[in-house]
Structure 1
Amino acid sequence: MKQQKPLLWSNLFRIRRETLKYRLSILVLTFLVWGGMMWGLRLRGKQRTAFLEAFDGQFVDMFMRLRNHYQGKAFIDKRITLIGIDDFTNEHLAPYGRGPWISRSPFIDLVHYLGQFYKPQSVSFDIVFENRLLEEIGDDPTTYFQAKIFRQMSETIRQVGESRIELESQRASFAAMAQLITWLGESAFGETLGELREAGVLPILAFFFPDDPRARARLWPIEAILGDDPDDLSEENGLLIPDLKASSIPSHLIEQVPGDFPYRDYPPRVPTGNYLEYSSLGSINIPRDRDGVVRAYPLIIGMEYHYQHPKTGKRIRRRLFIPTLAFLTFLHHMGLAPEQLHEGGEKRLRIIMGKAVEIYDSQGNLQYSLPIDAYGRIYLNYHGKISDYQGISFASCLGNYLPLKPYLHNKMVFVGVTATGSVDTGPTPVNRLSPLVLVHMTALNDMLKKTVLRIMNNRQRLLLCVILLILGIPLFFLPLRYSILLSMLYASVYVGSSYYCVHRHWFVMPVIAPTGFLASLSVFTLLIYYLTEQKERRRIRTMFQTMVSGDVLRYMEQNPESFSLAGENRHATIFFSDVAGFTTISETLAPEKLVLLLNKYLTPMTDIILKWYGFIDKYEGDAIMAEWGVPFPLDTHAVNACYAALEQQRQLEILRPQLLQEFGCEIHVRMGINSGVVSAGNMGSEKRFSYTVMGDAVNRAARLEPANKDYGTAIALGENTAELVRDTFFLRMLDRIQVKGKTVPVAIFELIGLPDEVAPATKELTTCYEDALRFHWERRFEEALSSLDRALAAVPGDKASLMLKARIEGYLE
């Protein structure tokens, strides 16, 4: 035994080294997949990939729709009202863009009613009031519409009233008349906006930077920056820059602007006329994700212009930050309109890119915090469709004002086009095609309700990756079915957590990269399992195909985790058998005859052992060593071993006459069976080894087999085995014997058979013999001899009874 110990430890070391190598290779694959996930989570700004942007966005869209289904309109702010130019308005006034809309007449009436009766907080127009005809007219129509044209227009009107005239010759007059009407409408609208501002209502007009290549290629006209007076060129006199500066947020209030922040270096499309004297400007540039859906909303738009100073010749570059329509509306609601920021209210506002917009009260205490990303954007949290917001038809506002006052008074009003067929539409998370005024309303609603969804920063993403890595590593070391189930559980919990974060208005968790990481781990696990399983199956089949039955071998191949080759302690039953008098038989037979005899004996014995799920450990000449309970677990290992032993003895009764006739020798086999804890595993050298068992239970089984010779029995059982099979088989206690290395005698038993198959005489023999054995231990020798006489009368010649009788008679002498 001591000589085998170094081999055992060497073998275990080899297995552990192979396992370590295997696990390290898995960890390398895990880190590679993890690195791919890290790359996939580069969601910051322009690094965000189109694939992840599209699919992650669609998951969040689905979460929003599901949440809105259960929450309804609970998070839609009633302080927001939409005045929509809808289908009803087009039917009762005129299709938008035609008829009275050209002269701004409906807008003039609306603004008049809002200022005189409804008194909202602000009116934000998601409409760009631009008319290029006015650029030609300028501020003085008298110069443009010269006296001759006015006289011609007057004459044309008179002729139309008197009779039919030839209209072809009056085209110039009609064009001038249209321009005059437009100019008058624009002027009246501007004055109405001034009245609205005097009434305490802030008009916010939309402007935008076109995204087409031609617009991007335009240069800033020098008059837009420095004015058109060659004697007084300065930025204060510019035709456009002063108005943009007045609506901008001072640049010193904006911190940590990234180096790749997008600045637009071409002129925007702004309202014309005298509107800008009474209104603030808000950008309506809305970026879309790669799939066209609007999910992010910028709070500020960066613009850049440069020129050469007319006096010094120095090249000057300026940058401005203009608030978007919804953000400007929100700032005004918080008492921080741009003019107030320029007039000393800057201490109340801080915009920290990548962190938050912070608004302070007059005492310097933080009043409000709005999370933004590195480019000043918020992730829109859509709480409903445009029909879920408080809305009024444009046409309904022109007339009876009293019923509408609760919907407009002190509200933040948006005016936008919502009619069917409008070009100002686009896909949103809640609808395939929505009027884009919904985007501005959603952004303002999120700011008012503080439901802006946060986007995970780099530190949070790194923490998420580390957590997923830690959770993913165990997947490689679990059985395949548990690994797949656990990965599915991980993915389900992660997706559920992502939804819960949206449901609670917390933040947006990336979905595709983490779930893809978990799915990749499952695929790797499946692939590695398949490759290693095939290798392990070949190894198991090579090692055990001649030692176990086909059913057991298939079980071991399909469940390699059910046993260990590295060495373990297991409860098992050990079987030894040996042919009685085999030395004499081997001396009388020629070698070829001896081999043939052994094969004819060992083949059916082996088949019976395999039939009862036994494991053939080894053959030693005529001896067989087998185990039950290793290498695979078997709860009935002792019972199966006894069944196999009894069937072998019955098979020998059939085989014995055949062997006697063919080889001239009679075969009798003694068997020893014992149960207990054994050490099982691959044992041997580094290059040559075999699966076997060792331990005290093995040694005792080996000593039980020759004990049959003394008692004249065929199958001897150890005490542990007898306890396990006592309820199944009929046993006879033979004796207590002293085992080498043990100080306490151990009991041995004879396995006779199944209770209903045992003859009455054998049962009588067993009862009398066990009584005699008990009397013998109690030194009641006369009673013991009497019991033995009855036993021998039942079965004459019983060797165990004769041996015990001789022992007692020796004591009496």
Structure 2
Amino acid sequence: MSRYRSFFLPVLILIILKIIFLIPVFDSLEYKAQDSLFHMRGPRQISEDIVIIAIDDESFSALNTTWPFPRDYHAKLIENLSEAGAKLIIFDIEFTENSRYPESDKLLANAAAASNNVVFAGKVLHGKAHGDPDQLLTPIGDIVANGSPWGIVNMNSDSDNAIRKYSLFEEMDNHKYYSIGVAGLANSRLYQSDWADHLHSEDAHLTVANHKIPIYKHNKAIINYYGPASSFPHISYASVIDDSTMAMPGYQGIEFDEFYSIRDSGILQDKIVLIGATIDELHDKFPTPFGGEWTPGVEIHANFIEMVQNGDYLYAVNPWLYMLLEFVALLLLWFAFRKLKPQLSVLALLILFALQYLLAYYLFERQSYLIPIVQPVLALLFIYVASLICHYLDSLKEKRFIRQAFQQYMAPELVSELLKNPKKLSYGGSLQEISVLFSDIRSFTTYSENHSPEETVNILKEYLTAMVNVIVENQGILDKFVGDEIMALFGTPLPLPNHALNACKVALQMREKMTELQEKWRSEGKESFEIGIGVNTGSAVVGNLGSEQIFDYTAIGDTINLGARLESINKEYDTPKHIIISEFTYEHVKELVEVRYLDEVK
């Protein structure tokens, strides 16, 4: 694959991943993977600054009433919480409509005004999805008129309905309406201020009472949850309003007056108190990263406030920086996978999967960064599969080249074996023990001068075809033709234990085939010729010794030179069979062939 294609592949993978993660199921997989980081870290120690006043089963039993509770109950709650020393009181209960009892509404508003530390709940209803206008639900007029601050309680869930981000504010008619968590921390009506100057982009912060809250995607903060449901201390709503002035129908005439013991214990002194429903019937529970039992909305607000007070924020990595790093990583991995064998690539892939998760956990636990987990894993998988495909295509190309290069000069079984290990043909040479055979036509120059080019080519073609067939049938390879000379190798590119014997067999069979051809040519009235053969055995440098552009599988060295010399001196000694082998070849075949000592040749 060209260099430009190598750069293009990671870009293509990143584009595909961006498209894939538009599908909700992949988003959900990413969320679940990131949720596992919370499980792996486990619940954390929380401060003692926050207490939940729970509207629970006990409260309904003790008060023996239905929802919504009378608002004078809430007024009593504010009075008792103030008496117990609560620093801040936040209602995760909406009082956006007047009740049937105006006096009860006034009691609630007046109690809040007297306490001067109560934050109420409102909501922005977005109707754009249904073509309806947005609607702002504010606390009732008596509460607003008395100057009590309020904030919105909008919960923005992810595609799997879990709450992982906290809505810092909602926008409507060019106004920003802040959440009860933000309003509580500032203890002022931020929606009337000019704090919008602090809100710009994903990299901006919302500054609240000396706290710089990192903003995620325009108006959210990632919640760094401290634990599953019930991580914060709970006190039953009924217990707080149970004093000497409050009758508890559900207690059947028994006076517990639980509030006084709560007050005297100091458990509410200087605490941020959040009031909200914790029972399933009021449908104010949501899934969170910790899974298991759904978490009441009031506890989600508590997690946010605890996080801000501790400065324990979670940050999302800059998406452009992350994409750049991912591109560089994919590019490096692409080149690495292309170099590795497929078997090693699988092991490397599994190790990278584990390292990716460990990196995500390290950044989450130690650096407070939340990075994608599934997306890079899929990217790794894609780059691995792409490398496998390229390995396969390269293998097909390599095998096709080998088959085309050798099938005419090598036995089919040798070609098949070579295809199983193409690396034997990689560029460069290695020292191997082989046998080499040279064959040459005697006085062929004179022969060609006495015959027409067509006659010369035809008889040469017939001769070379017959000789090559003999070589291939005996597991040799044709190295090259040099004019009318033949050079054949035995014992390479695949090992051949009896390469010297095979070379000798080929020499004898070539002589037999030559005799047949001579008889045939004489019968056809053609002039024949003689050949000389030389065989040598020894070490030679063997391999692809051509250029990087031109393949040339051959052998070089003294062993080859001596083989050529033995062939050429046949005419000097006028050997009967016109075959000369070296003493090195003889040492390998002396028990199997008959020879005659000829001379010492250098």
- Is 1:111–2:78 an aligned residue pair? yes
- Match of 2:321? 460
Check whether the contact 1:580–1:670 (CA below 8 A) recurs between aligned residues: no
Query: Following TM superposition, by how much is the alpha carbon of 1:285 offset from its aligned partner in structure 2, in angstroms?
Result: 1.4
- Match of 2:67? 97
- Is 1:88–2:58 an aligned residue pair? yes
Q: 1:595-625, CA deviations, whole angstroms, 9 ceiling, x for partnerless residues? A: 9898777545433335xxxx43235668442
Q: 1:711-730, CA deviations, whole angstroms, 9 ceiling, x for partnerless residues? A: 999532xxxxxxxxxxxxxx
Alpha-carbon distance between aligned partners in 2 of 1:214 and 1:547, rounded to the nearest angstrom: 74
- Match of 2:277? 417
> Matched residue of 1:447: which SS?
helix
Query: Following TM superposition, by how much is the alpha carbon of 1:80 offset from its aligned partner in structure 2, in angstroms?
Result: 2.0
- 1:609 pairs with one of 455, 465, 475: 475
- Match of 1:229? none
Alpha-carbon distance between aligned partners in 2 of 1:535 and 1:462, rounded to the nearest angstrom: 34
- Match of 1:744? none
- Is 1:323–2:186 an aligned residue pair? no
Structure 2 counterparts to residues 550-565 of structure 1, below 5 A: 550=412, 552-564=414-426
Query: Following TM superposition, by how much is the alpha carbon of 1:389 offset from its aligned partner in structure 2, in angstroms?
Result: 2.3
- 1:62 pairs with one of 33, 37, 50: 33
- Is 1:503–2:361 an aligned residue pair? no
Query: Following TM superposition, by how much is the alpha carbon of 1:86 offset from its aligned partner in structure 2, in angstroms?
Result: 1.5
Over 3 Å counting, the alpha-carbon distance change for 1:651 and 1:355 in structure 2 is: closer
- Match of 2:587? 752
Over 3 Å counting, the alpha-carbon distance change for 1:503 and 1:553 in structure 2 is: farther
Alpha-carbon distance between aligned partners in 2 of 1:595 and 1:439, rounded to the nearest angstrom: 90
Query: Following TM superposition, by how much is the alpha carbon of 1:374 offset from its aligned partner in structure 2, in angstroms?
Result: 5.1
- Match of 1:538? 400
State the one-letter code of the partner of 1:354. Answer: E
Alpha-carbon distance between aligned partners in 1 of 2:8 and 2:433, rounded to the nearest angstrom: 43
> Matched residue of 1:438: which SS?
helix
Check whether the contact 1:205–1:279 (CA below 8 A) recurs between aligned residues: yes
Q: 1:530-588, CA deviations, whole angstroms, 9 ceiling, x for partnerless residues? A: 44443433232111223344454345435545533xx534434564324699779x99x
Alpha-carbon distance between aligned partners in 2 of 1:90 and 1:360, rounded to the nearest angstrom: 36
- Is 1:270–2:128 an aligned residue pair? no
Query: Following TM superposition, by how much is the alpha carbon of 1:284 offset from its aligned partner in structure 2, in angstroms?
Result: 0.7
Check whether the contact 2:222–2:314 (CA below 8 A) recurs between aligned residues: yes
Query: Following TM superposition, by how much is the alpha carbon of 1:455 offset from its aligned partner in structure 2, in angstroms?
Result: 1.7
Alpha-carbon distance between aligned partners in 1 of 2:4 and 2:40, rounded to the nearest angstrom: 48
Check whether the contact 1:708–1:715 (CA below 8 A) recurs between aligned residues: no
Structure 2 counterparts to residues 57-206 of structure 1, below 5 A: 58-64=29-35, 66-94=36-64, 96-97=66-67, 101=69, 103-117=70-84, 119-133=85-99, 179=100, 182-197=101-116, 202-206=117-121
Alpha-carbon distance between aligned partners in 1 of 2:295 and 2:282, rounded to the nearest angstrom: 10
- Is 1:395–2:238 an aligned residue pair? yes
Alpha-carbon distance between aligned partners in 2 of 1:297 and 1:494, rounded to the nearest angstrom: 27
Query: Based on CA coordinates, which of the two structures has the bigger radius of gyration?
Result: 1
Query: Following TM superposition, by how much is the alpha carbon of 1:82 offset from its aligned partner in structure 2, in angstroms?
Result: 1.4
- Match of 2:218? 375
Check whether the contact 1:452–1:505 (CA below 8 A) recurs between aligned residues: no
Query: Following TM superposition, by how much is the alpha carbon of 1:462 offset from its aligned partner in structure 2, in angstroms?
Result: 4.4
- Is 1:357–2:235 an aligned residue pair? no
State the one-letter code of the partner of 1:384. Answer: G
Alpha-carbon distance between aligned partners in 2 of 1:374 and 1:625, rounded to the nearest angstrom: 73
Q: 1:72-99, CA deviations, whole angstroms, 9 ceiling, x for partnerless residues? A: 332433322211111222222235415x
Query: Following TM superposition, by how much is the alpha carbon of 1:415 offset from its aligned partner in structure 2, in angstroms?
Result: 0.9
Q: 1:506-540, CA deviations, whole angstroms, 9 ceiling, x for partnerless residues? A: 22223454444443333433444444443433232
Check whether the contact 2:86–2:270 (CA below 8 A) recurs between aligned residues: yes
Alignment coverage as a number of residue pairs:
558
Over 3 Å counting, the alpha-carbon distance change for 1:690 and 1:115 in structure 2 is: closer
Over 3 Å counting, the alpha-carbon distance change for 1:622 and 1:658 in structure 2 is: same
State the one-letter code of the partner of 1:204. Answer: V
- Match of 1:625? 488
Structure 2 counterparts to residues 215-234 of structure 1, below 5 A: 217=132
Over 3 Å counting, the alpha-carbon distance change for 1:527 and 1:209 in structure 2 is: same
- Match of 1:438? 299
Structure 2 counterparts to residues 508-527 of structure 1, below 5 A: 508-527=370-389
Over 3 Å counting, the alpha-carbon distance change for 1:715 and 1:274 in structure 2 is: same
State the one-letter code of the partner of 1:553. Answer: V
Query: Following TM superposition, by how much is the alpha carbon of 1:496 offset from its aligned partner in structure 2, in angstroms?
Result: 3.5
Alpha-carbon distance between aligned partners in 2 of 1:130 and 1:488, rounded to the nearest angstrom: 55
- Match of 1:408? 268
**Structure 1 alignment gaps of length 5 or more:** 1-18, 42-48, 134-178, 219-263, 305-318, 362-366, 717-731, 733-748, 763-794, 805-813
Alpha-carbon distance between aligned partners in 2 of 1:508 and 1:487, rounded to the nearest angstrom: 22
- Match of 2:536? 672
Q: 1:13-67, CA deviations, whole angstroms, 9 ceiling, x for partnerless residues? A: xxxxxx7xx4434444444434555x669xxxxxxx7437x63454344333x34
- Match of 1:210? 125
- Match of 2:428? 568
Over 3 Å counting, the alpha-carbon distance change for 1:659 and 1:354 in structure 2 is: closer
State the one-letter code of the partner of 1:382. Answer: Y
Check whether the contact 1:77–1:448 (CA below 8 A) recurs between aligned residues: no
Alpha-carbon distance between aligned partners in 2 of 1:598 and 1:106, rounded to the nearest angstrom: 112
- Is 1:427–2:290 an aligned residue pair? no
Structure 2 counterparts to residues 560-709 of structure 1, below 5 A: 560-564=422-426, 567-573=427-433, 575-578=435-438, 603=469, 605-610=471-476, 615-618=477-480, 623-626=486-489, 628=491, 630=493, 640=496, 643-649=498-504, 670-677=534-541, 680-681=544-545, 691-693=552-554, 695-697=556-558, 700-706=561-567
Check whether the contact 2:222–2:315 (CA below 8 A) recurs between aligned residues: yes
**Structure 2 alignment gaps of length 5 or more:** 243-256, 448-454, 520-528
Alpha-carbon distance between aligned partners in 1 of 2:407 and 2:270, rounded to the nearest angstrom: 88
> Matched residue of 2:160: which SS?
coil
| Deviating more after overlay: 352-361 vs 271-280 | 352-361
Over 3 Å counting, the alpha-carbon distance change for 1:89 and 1:383 in structure 2 is: same
Query: Following TM superposition, by how much is the alpha carbon of 1:128 offset from its aligned partner in structure 2, in angstroms?
Result: 0.5
Identity of aligned residues (%): 18
Check whether the contact 2:185–2:208 (CA below 8 A) recurs between aligned residues: no
Check whether the contact 1:56–1:511 (CA below 8 A) recurs between aligned residues: no
> RMSD value over aligned CA atoms?
4.7
Alpha-carbon distance between aligned partners in 2 of 1:628 and 1:600, rounded to the nearest angstrom: 21
Check whether the contact 2:214–2:315 (CA below 8 A) recurs between aligned residues: yes
Alpha-carbon distance between aligned partners in 2 of 1:352 and 1:459, rounded to the nearest angstrom: 17
Query: Following TM superposition, by how much is the alpha carbon of 1:291 offset from its aligned partner in structure 2, in angstroms?
Result: 3.4
Alpha-carbon distance between aligned partners in 2 of 1:68 and 1:511, rounded to the nearest angstrom: 13
State the one-letter code of the partner of 1:369. Answer: K
- Match of 2:23? 51
- Match of 2:246? none
> Matched residue of 1:428: which SS?
coil
Over 3 Å counting, the alpha-carbon distance change for 1:194 and 1:562 in structure 2 is: farther
Check whether the contact 2:96–2:122 (CA below 8 A) recurs between aligned residues: no
> Matched residue of 1:416: which SS?
strand
State the one-letter code of the partner of 2:26. Answer: F
Query: Following TM superposition, by how much is the alpha carbon of 1:752 offset from its aligned partner in structure 2, in angstroms?
Result: 1.5
